[in-house]
Amino acid sequence: MPVILNQPWTLLADKTEDYAWFPEAASTFAAENDWLYGVITIVCVIFFIPIAFSLFYFAVRYRKPKGGKAESNTAHNTPLELAWSIGPSFFLVGMFILGAKAYLNHRTVPDGARDIKVQSSSWNWSFDYGGGTVHPELHIVVEEPTKLSMRSTDVIHSLFVPAFRAKKDIVPGRYNYMWFEPTVASRKVSDEELAAAKKKMKDLGEENWNFDELDFTPDGYTYYDLYCTEYCGLNHSEMQTVVVVHETQEDLDAWIKKYSMRGENEDPADYGRKLYSRRGCSGCHSLDGSKRVGPSFQEVFGNKRPLTDGDVVVADENYVRESILYPKAKVSAGYQPVMPSYKGQLTEDDIHSLVEFLKEVSEYSPAEVVAGDPESSNEEKPAEGKNATDTEAK
Ligand code: HEC
Ligand SMILES: [Cu+2]
């Protein structure tokens, strides 16, 4: 028998979470924040109802018929005025004190908090765990205070983890920080469940992991949402990632190690593909030829690229390297110079892997200059011809 007939309340129980006042509470801030929010809401309602009611009541009660003569005003009622000024101010001062205490708690990082460097850019998050490990997911340890040292490379972003009740703006040109202490660890899903999900993603041909559909990460951990809550341009709503809370420091260290660098026998192009999604290139560069904020990688390597200053260059290894380290040195025609520099953030091996990956995904079309250069000649062969055979061989 379907559950709904057998035990209808279980259906409701499953749903209550969806309609709850607040998202799940998973940090030391949550209880106090929610309580204070509740108190302030109740105070507001207590005042709002009698005020709104009196407004309508008096409007009706003292209505005069058309053409009636207006009565003279009563100018003062001192006891009444004192009562309605002093009475509510107690509530206001009380709310201020409670709010200020909570705010100071949010701003006072406890000693010994683990420091993670956060870089935000339109529309990516990257978390630096030290030792060259950078990843778009935030991974921390349960019951350990964590500090985020945050900066933005372009516009104002704001980091928000609803389950932690923690949120802070990130302003370009200065560091900002926040902290929190998670109280509920992520769960690890079974290997079978993870394998099934991986297969499904592969069958669907998903380029990236589909977080809307799956409530765990590609490493099999359940997660909390983290997103940008400051409108920061076109794809602002997609500037989201996840927080995974590890049970132990050892578990986190193992995870960090897994992402620290290219595996010993790992093919550079395969690793480049990982960096492509891990380091945020995928937010601006597609692989299927469609134009995002930047040109599709399908059309880059080996092709003639028109620049905004009218020059045309062939996208060889050095050009790609320069584009990654000094994106503003040569700007592709038809695009804004908004790519962040990855100088100091990618190792030479990372760049090499990205170059190999670009070679793999690029479609070589010697006949045309992709963004349309009026003087493009159809005969001239680009210097980097190797890629042509690469692509044809497939
Ligand atoms: C915020 C969006 C953004 C991100 C993130 C980004 N790029 Fe770009 N990229 C652009 C834009 C826009 C251009 C074109 C303008 C220019 O040349 O600077 C570009 C240009 C390039 C070019 C030159 C392409 C051409 O037309 O010849 C390469 C190569 C490149 N990016 C590689 C990367 C790699 C590798 C990453 C990740 C490590 C990355 N980009 C991340 C926006 C981005
Ligand atoms: Cu943002």
Model confidence pLDDT, tens digit, residues 46-78: 999 999 999 999 999 888 888 877 777 778 889
CATH number for the region 114-258 comes to 2.60.40.420
**154 C-alpha to ligand 1 centroid (Å):** 15
- 232 within 8 A of 153, measured Cβ to Cβ: no
Model confidence pLDDT, tens digit, residues 144-153: 999 999 999 8
Ligand 1 touching residue 332 (CB < 6 A) = yes
Ligand 1 touching residue 342 (CB < 6 A) = yes
Q: How high is the pLDDT of residue 96?
A: 94
Q: How high is the pLDDT of residue 206?
A: 67
Higher local confidence (pLDDT), 313 or 71:
313
Region 181-204: mean pLDDT is: 87
Q: Which two tokens stand for residue 61?
A: 């009660």
Ligand 1 touching residue 369 (CB < 6 A) = no
Region 205-224: mean pLDDT is: 82
User: Residue 228 — very low, low, confident or very high, per pLDDT cuts 50/70/90?
Assistant: very high
- Give nearest CA residue, ligand 1 atom 42: 339
Q: How high is the pLDDT of residue 238?
A: 87
- 136 within 8 A of 126, measured Cβ to Cβ: yes
Q: Which of 373, 350, 353, 369 is nearest to 361 (CA)?
A: 353
Return d(Cα 113, Cα 145) in angstroms, integer: 5
- Give nearest CA residue, ligand 1 atom 26: 332
- Give nearest CA residue, ligand 1 atom 23: 323
**376 C-alpha to ligand 1 centroid (Å):** 23
- 183 within 8 A of 31, measured Cβ to Cβ: no
User: Residue 79 — very low, low, confident or very high, per pLDDT cuts 50/70/90?
Assistant: very high
Q: Which atom of ligand 1 is nearest to the CA of 276?
A: 37
Q: For the chain, which residues make up each domain, given as ranges? A: 114-258, 268-392
Region 249-277: mean pLDDT is: 84
Ligand 1 touching residue 293 (CB < 6 A) = yes
Q: How high is the pLDDT of residue 2?
A: 46
Coil, helix or strand at residue 321? helix
Q: How high is the pLDDT of residue 254?
A: 87
Report pTM: 0.67
Mutate to test the pocket of ligand 1, among 274, 284, 352 (most ligand atoms within 8 A of CB): 284
- 293 within 8 A of 283, measured Cβ to Cβ: yes
Specify which residues 168 forms β-bridges with. Answer: 159
Q: How high is the pLDDT of residue 383?
A: 39
**239 C-alpha to ligand 2 centroid (Å):** 6
- 358 within 8 A of 301, measured Cβ to Cβ: yes
> In whole angstroms, what separates CA 209 from the centre of its chain?
15
- Give nearest CA residue, ligand 1 atom 19: 294
Rounded to 10 deg, the angle between the 348-361 and 268-278 helix axes is: 100
User: Residue 322 — very low, low, confident or very high, per pLDDT cuts 50/70/90?
Assistant: very high
Ligand 1 touching residue 305 (CB < 6 A) = yes
Among the ranges given (16-30, 95-109, 158-172, 316-330), the one the predictor scored with the smallest mean pLDDT: 16-30
Region 334-359: mean pLDDT is: 88
Taking 70 as the threshold, does the pLDDT of residue 16 lie above it? no
Taking 50 as the threshold, does the pLDDT of residue 321 lie above it? yes
Burial class (CB in 10 A: 0-12, 13-18, 19+), 5: exposed
Region 349-372: mean pLDDT is: 75
Cα dist from 31 to 97, 161, 224, 261, whole Å: 17, 15, 17, 39
**158 C-alpha to ligand 2 centroid (Å):** 6
Burial class (CB in 10 A: 0-12, 13-18, 19+), 307: middle
Taking 80 as the threshold, does the pLDDT of residue 8 lie above it? no
Ligand 1 touching residue 285 (CB < 6 A) = yes
Return d(Cα 361, Cα 301) in angstroms, integer: 8
Taking 50 as the threshold, does the pLDDT of residue 378 lie above it? no
Q: Which atom of ligand 1 is nearest to the CA of 305?
A: 27
- If you write DSSP's letter for every residue of 5-30 in order, what string do you get? HH-HHHHHHHHHTTT-SS----BTTH
> What percent of the chain clears pLDDT 70, i.e. is strictly above it?
86
- 231 within 8 A of 240, measured Cβ to Cβ: no
Mean pLDDT of the chain: 83
**For the chain, how are helix, strand and coil distributed in percent, rounded to 5?**
40, 15, 45
Q: How high is the pLDDT of residue 64?
A: 82
- Give nearest CA residue, ligand 1 atom 12: 294
- If you write DSSP's letter for every residue of 24-50 in order, what string do you get? ---BTTHHHHHHHHHHHHHHHHHHHHH
**5 C-alpha to ligand 2 centroid (Å):** 46
Taking 90 as the threshold, does the pLDDT of residue 226 lie above it? yes
Q: How high is the pLDDT of residue 62?
A: 86
Return d(Cα 175, Cα 147) in angstroms, integer: 12
CA of 126, nearest ligand number:
1
Q: How high is the pLDDT of residue 379?
A: 39
CA of 240, nearest ligand number:
2
Coil, helix or strand at residue 183? coil
Residue 252 identity (one-letter amino acid): L
From the options 3.10.450.50, 2.150.10.10, 1.10.760.10, 1.10.340.70, give the CATH code of 268-392: 1.10.760.10
Q: How high is the pLDDT of residue 183?
A: 93
Region 13-29: mean pLDDT is: 72
User: Residue 296 — very low, low, confident or very high, per pLDDT cuts 50/70/90?
Assistant: very high
CA of 309, nearest ligand number:
1
> What percent of the chain clears pLDDT 90, i.e. is strictly above it?
41
Ligand 1 touching residue 136 (CB < 6 A) = no
**228 C-alpha to ligand 2 centroid (Å):** 5
**331 C-alpha to ligand 1 centroid (Å):** 9
Ligand 1 touching residue 243 (CB < 6 A) = no
Ligand 1 touching residue 244 (CB < 6 A) = no
- Give nearest CA residue, ligand 1 atom 38: 281
User: Residue 365 — very low, low, confident or very high, per pLDDT cuts 50/70/90?
Assistant: low
Pairing mode, strands 176-180 and 304-306: unpaired
